[in-house]
């Protein structure tokens, strides 16, 4: 197979670094350019130090858009739309956007929401894909099996703790080691920007769902990973719930349902989602864990690229977790 020629825009952040790490080892990919105006002329490994010895690529300010088959947009939220509007991108170029700009369904764009566990067949036919958010990915995968059977009949309570890389590479007061280490804090309670896309995905399977999604996001004192616990009223027994979840994710490439209480290191550095269930009275508890930079961002973006180009969706994504 002829290699897929790739361009990456917004290449200095954590998600871009992880994307490049995956693409450099992908057997069906050739990276044509890595765009960054602020780092033009610098070696990629000067910014992404984990890539020392793995690439001779340099950042460029030039956009060779006619030389590529696919474009990854790793820009800040709001910048992807500006980039697309400001540049003449050939129609043949498939776009995978990692920002929030095109996740909401809208008649003014043709982006498909890039959650393979929900839209796999549509992604295969898509020219443009909006990669889901990290919290959204973990939470949606936790709730979709219930929505598929219209079993979300009450409000859902969600706690989700994320690593510091979820806030991006730009320094801020809550990212300093002296603040973050041995610390925990809450932010954007009940108002997190991913709630819109979470509800949109649930309504795709259960259109009449209108209950509250009570999301409490937490900053953890670790670098990467998201640990989600969600609970809601549910009439299913634990055995029935496990049967439903295993049936729903039977064909999923990276989503695994376990009856052993998992820990976060089992997914860090992988594109996996691990789900675990418990039943307490009339409440069903769902644990969902992901790596925020991989299944929550760059890994899922490559999974979507694989689907868009007719490849096995696991290609380039068989990665070893840091768990022992």
Indicate the length of the chain as a whole number.
324
Instruction: State the residue for tokens 């990692």.
Output: 98
Q: What is the dihedral of CA 126, 132, 138, 141, to 10 degrees?
A: -30
What DSSP line would sit under 268-315, residue for residue? TTSS-EEEEEEEETTEEEEEEEE-TTIIIIIHHHHHHHHHHTT--TTT
Report angle CA 165, 168, 174 to the nearest 5 degrees: 75
Helices 195-205 and 116-125: crossing angle in degrees, nearest 10, is 80
Name every residue whose Cβ is closer than 8 Å to that of residue 42 and which is 6 or more positions away in sequence.
Answer: 58, 59
Residue 188 has what DSSP assignment? S
Of 20, 76, 17, nearest to 47 (Cα)? 17
Instruction: Specify whether the CB–CB gap between 71 and 93 falls below 8 A.
Output: yes
Paired tokens of 152: 């979300």
- Whole-angstrom Cα distance, residue 271 to residue 319? 7
Angstrom CA distances, 235 to 214, 230, 248, stand at 20, 16, 18
Q: Which of 68, 118, 130, 134 is catalytic?
A: 134
Q: In sequence order, what are the residues at sequence separation of 6 or more whose Cβ sits closer than 8 angstroms to the Cβ of residue 219?
A: 161, 162, 164, 167, 174, 180, 183, 184, 185, 186, 187
In whole angstroms, give the CA distance from residue 34 to residue 52: 16
Query: Does residue 134 carry a catalytic annotation?
Result: yes
Residues that are catalytic: 134
């Amino acid at each position: 197979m002829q290699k897929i020629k790739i361009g990456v825009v917004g290449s200095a952040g954590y998600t871009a670094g992880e994307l490049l790490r995956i693409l450099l080892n992908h057997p069906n990919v050739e990276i044509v350019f890595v765009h960054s105006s602020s780092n033009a002329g610098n070696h990629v490994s000067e910014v992404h130090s984990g890539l020392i010895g793995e690439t001779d690529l340099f950042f460029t300010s030039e956009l060779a858009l006619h030389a590529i088959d696919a474009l990854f947009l790793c820009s800040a939220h709001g910048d992807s739309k500006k980039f697309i509007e400001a540049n003449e991108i050939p129609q043949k170029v498939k776009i995978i956007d990692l920002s929030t700009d095109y996740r909401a369904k809208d008649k003014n764009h043709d982006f498909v929401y890039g959650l393979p566990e929900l839209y796999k067949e549509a992604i295969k036919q898509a020219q443009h894909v909006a990669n889901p958010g990290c919290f959204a990915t973990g939470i949606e995968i936790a709730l979709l099996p219930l929505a598929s059977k219209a079993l979300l009949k009450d409000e859902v309570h969600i706690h989700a703790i994320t690593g510091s890389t979820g806030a991006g590479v730009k320094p801020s007061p809550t990212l300093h080691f002296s603040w973050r280490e041995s610390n925990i804090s809450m932010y954007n309670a009940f108002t997190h920007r991913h709630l819109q896309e979470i509800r949109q995905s649930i309504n795709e399977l259960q259109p009449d769902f209108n209950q509250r999604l009570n999301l409490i996001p937490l900053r953890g004192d670790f670098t990467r990973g998201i640990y989600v616990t969600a609970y809601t009223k549910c009439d299913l027994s634990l055995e029935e719930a496990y049967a439903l979840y295993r049936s729903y994710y039977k064909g999923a490439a990276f989503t695994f349902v376990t009856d052993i209480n998992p820990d976060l290191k089992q997914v860090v550095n992988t594109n996996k989602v691990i789900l675990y269930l418990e039943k307490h009275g009339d409440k069903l508890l769902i644990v969902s864990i992901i790596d925020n930079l991989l299944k929550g961002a760059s890994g899922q973006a490559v999974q979507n690229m694989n689907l868009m180009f007719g490849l096995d969706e696991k290609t380039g994504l068989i990665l070893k977790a840091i768990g022992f």
